[in-house]
């Protein structure tokens, strides 16, 4: 689905801003540990506390991670400059955030969704995280709090902010964008990318317009979205809010809104009119980042295979449908599948079992055993039900499928025997048989079921169907 999803011909427009905490050993501008879950204010020093006289020094690993992500998103990696974003808040030790403004590290790239659609990337820049404020009091917010506590362990943790173009048109695409970005980040090993721990944070810029309209309308920035599910709900809520405002002859105001998960709605935060002037200017305590050609070439050479490429390769090899391919790559099972098929596994059966029967993991399953199993199944030596049972054993405790089949008494019922059973059934149930021959596919299940019943499920369903079809052609 590429367009309209909302009533009355409204088109959804979404741009996402994703903040990712980089998994460096140390913080962006000092040697403090970059760790989640420590005692408050234990990973701190003069620099990340912004003590008078302290100065930042850029963590080169963080820069390298940011550039890697930039290249993975097909961005140009440029000479970049840090800037100060000035505003007062207790979780910001210096009362300014060191970020990048008009000269970010990564510019103009794109991300390819599993569906094949590409979403443009405007920029991906480096910045420092703030501390974490906890407001004590009934309101839970700063206004009305009795007092507030600040933990600066998070202050100065390296972030990369990836800003998409407003090219996302459906909720599915929005979710898919985030999960694809997550897979890329995991493949690059630059972050643990846990949305629930906040190491990936997503803000959604949402607006709507009438189909056919060229200009973008007023957008609202939705914050506090903590899962893919919330992302979908928040976008849906916000888009419908805009639609009903327009429906009433009103317009939304440009503002920041917060998603309230329990209430299932967004609430107004800060409006554009009273938005702060951040007085950006070049950070004089740092020097520009100037990556050499060699650095960028090296990053490209060290680039791991990314999900989009892996999906293409897997699709070419197996011919599986795109949703299955996406799922298997997401589970990191593609390399295993390659080995199985190379070892003689039958692609169709391999994919079927991987998708349906191996979601919990591969356990003790060896590529050889799996390949043999799919061959036995393909030759109808065992039925698919039997194959599934053997597979379960292989995952649990290994072994070879042939031995397991014998052990479990899975000798496939011969074709001749099935033919006899089918003929017997046709005789006993002539009414049903007539209906089958007239094309009533519902009764097909009846015949298959009967055969399965009398063979205790050991007959191959495919063979039964084949015989039924042969007989019905004979009948015409």
Partner 1 sequence: MSGMVPEQYQSASEIAELVATGEVSAIEILERYLNQIQEYEKDVHAFNLVTINEARAVAQETDKLIARGVTIGPLAGVPVAIKDNLCTKGITTTASSKILESWKPPYDATVVKKLKEAGATIVGKTNLDEFAMGSSTENSAFGPTRNPHDISCVPGGSSGGSAAAVAAGFVPIAIGSDTGGSIRQPAALCGVVGVKPTYGGVSRYGLLAFASSLDQVGPFATSVKDAAIVHEVIGGYDPLDSTSIKQAPESFLDMFDKGINELKVGVISELMGGIDGVTHEVIEQTNKAVSALSNAGAIVEEVSLPAALYCLSAYYLIAPAEASSNLSRYDGVRYGLRVEGANLNEMNVNTRTEGFGDEVKRRIMLGTYALSAGYYDAYYGKALKVRRLLAENFADLYKDYDVLLSPTSPCTAFKLGAKVNDPMMMYVNDVCTIPSNLVGHPAISIPFGSGKDGMPIGVQILAPPMKEPVMYQVAHALEKASQ
d(CA 195, CA 273): 31
How long, in residues, is the chain?
Answer: 476
Q: Which is nearer to partner 1, 84 or 257 (CB)?
A: 84
Q: Does position 1 bind partner 1 by CB under 8 A?
A: no
Q: How far apart (Å, rounded) are the C-alpha atoms in residues 408 and 458? A: 11
Stretch that binds partner 1, among 140-148, 190-198, 313-321, 399-407 (CB under 8 A): 140-148
Q: Using CB under 8 A, which of 3, 7, 51, 60 touches partner 1?
A: 51
Strand pairing of 281-282 and 82-86? antiparallel
Residue of 102, 146, 196, 277 interacting with partner 1 (CB under 8 A): 277
Is there a contact between 68 and 297 (Cβ–Cβ < 8 Å)? no
- Least distance from partner 1 to the Cβ atom of residue 395, Å: 53
Closest CA to 370 of 394, 335, 396: 394
- Selected from 8, 189, 285, 407, the binder of partner 1 by CB under 8 A is 285
Which span sits near partner 1 by CB under 8 A: 32-40, 272-280, 419-427, 463-471? 272-280
Choice between 156 and 307, CB closer to partner 1: 156
Are the C-beta atoms of residues 179 and 27 closer than 8 Å to each other?
no
Tell me the backbone φ, ψ of residue 75, rounded to 5 degrees: -85, 160
Query: Is residue 136 at the binding interface for partner 1, with CB under 8 A as the rule?
Result: no
Does position 50 interact with partner 1 (CB under 8 A)? The reply is yes
From 32-40, 278-286, 410-418, 442-450, span contacting partner 1 (CB under 8 A): 278-286
Q: How far is the CB of 140 from partner 1 (least distance, A)?
A: 15
Distance CA 458, CA 454 (A): 9
Scanning residues 67 to 106, which ones bind partner 1 (CB under 8 A)? 84, 86, 88, 90, 93-96
433: left (phi over 0), alpha (psi -120 to 50) or beta: alpha
Nearest distance in Å: CB 92, partner 1:
9
Size of the site for partner 1 (CB under 8 A): 31
DSSP states along 266-283: EEEEEEGGG------EE-
**Among residues 52, 409, 439, 445, which is the contact residue for partner 1, using CB under 8 A?**
52
Phi-psi region at 456: left, alpha or beta (left = phi > 0; alpha = psi -120 to 50): left
In the block, tokens 């962006």 appear at 28
Q: How far is CA 322 from the centre of its chain?
A: 15
Instruction: By CB under 8 A, name the one of 37, 249, 284, 409 that touches partner 1.
Output: 284
Q: List, edge to edge, every strand of the sheet that includes 76-77.
A: 76-77, 106-112, 118-128, 158-164, 10-21, 200-210, 220-225, 255-260, 265-271
Q: Pattern 287-316, binding to partner 1, x per CB under 8 A?
A: x-----------------------------
Which residues are near partner 1 by CB under 8 A?
46, 49-58, 84, 86, 88, 90, 93-96, 142-143, 148, 150, 277, 279-281, 284-287
């Amino acid at each position: 689905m590429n367009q309209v999803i909302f009533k009355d011909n409204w088109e959804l427009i979404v741009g996402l801003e994703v903040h990712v905490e980089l998994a460096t050993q140390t913080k962006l501008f000092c040697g403090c540990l970059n760790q989640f879950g420590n005692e408050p204010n234990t990973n701190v020093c003069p620099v990340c506390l912004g003590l008078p006289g302290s100065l930042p020094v850029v963590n080169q690993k963080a820069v390298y991670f940011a550039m890697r992500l930039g290249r993975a998103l097909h961005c140009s990696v440029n000479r970049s400059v840090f800037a100060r974003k000035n505003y007062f808040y207790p979780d910001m030790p210096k009362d300014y955030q060191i970020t990048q403004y008009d000269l970010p590290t990564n510019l103009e790239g794109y991300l390819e969704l599993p569906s094949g659609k590409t979403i443009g990337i405007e920029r991906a820049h480096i910045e420092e995280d703030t501390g974490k404020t906890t407001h004590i009091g009934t309101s839970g917010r700063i206004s009305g709090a009795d007092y507030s506590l600040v933990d600066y362990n998070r202050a100065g943790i390296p972030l990369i902010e990836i800003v998409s173009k407003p090219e996302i048109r459906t909720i599915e695409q929005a979710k898919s964008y985030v999960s694809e970005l997550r897979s890329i980040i995991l493949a690059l090993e630059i972050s643990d990318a846990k949305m629930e721990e906040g190491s990936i944070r997503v803000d959604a810029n949402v607006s709507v317009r009438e189909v056919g309209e060229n200009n973008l309308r007023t957008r609202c920035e939705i914050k506090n979205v903590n899962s893919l599910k919330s992302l979908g709900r928040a976008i849906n809520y916000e888009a419908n809010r805009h639609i009903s405002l327009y429906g009433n002859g009103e317009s939304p105001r440009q503002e920041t809104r917060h998603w309230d998960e329990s209430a299932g709605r967004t609430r107004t935060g800060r409006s554009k009119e009273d938005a702060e002037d951040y007085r950006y200017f070049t950070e004089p305590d740092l020097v520009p980042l100037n990556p050499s050609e060699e650095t960028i070439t090296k990053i490209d050479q060290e680039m791991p295979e990314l999900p989009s490429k892996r999906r293409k390769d897997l699709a070419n090899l197996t011919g599986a449908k795109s949703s299955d391919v996406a799922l298997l790559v997401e589970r990191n099972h593609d390399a295993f599948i390659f080995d199985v098929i190379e070892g003689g596994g039958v692609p169709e059966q391999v994919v079927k079992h991987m998708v349906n029967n191996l979601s919990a993991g591969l356990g003790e399953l060896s590529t050889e055993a799996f390949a043999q199993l799919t061959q036995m199944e393909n030759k109808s030596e065992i039925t698919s039900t039997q194959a599934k049972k053997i597979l379960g054993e292989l995952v649990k405790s290994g072994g070879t499928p042939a031995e397991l089949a014998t052990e479990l008494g899975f000798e496939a019922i011969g074709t001749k025997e099935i033919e006899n059973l089918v003929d017997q059934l046709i005789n006993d149930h002539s009414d049903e048989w007539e209906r089958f021959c007239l094309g009533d596919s519902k009764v097909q299940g009846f015949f298959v079921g009967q055969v399965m019943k009398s063979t205790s499920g050991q007959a191959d369903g495919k063979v039964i169907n084949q015989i039924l079809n042969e007989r019905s052609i004979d009948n015409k």
